[in-house]
Amino acid sequence: MNFTIEGEWIELCQLLKACNLCESGGAAKTLIQGGLVLVDGSVEQRRRKKIYPGQTVLCKDICITTK
Q: What does the alpha-carbon distance between residue 11 and residue 14 come to, in Å, rounded to a whole number?
A: 5
Query: How many CB atoms sit inside 10 A of residue 35's CB?
Result: 10
* Average of per-residue pLDDT across 59-64: 95
For the chain, domains (ranges, CATH) are 2-66 (3.10.290.10)
Q: How far is C-alpha 67 from the geometric centre of its chain's CA atoms?
A: 13
Q: What is the pLDDT of residue 15?
A: 97
Dump pLDDT digits (tens) for 13-58. Answer: 999 999 999 999 899 999 999 999 999 999 999 999 999 999 999 9
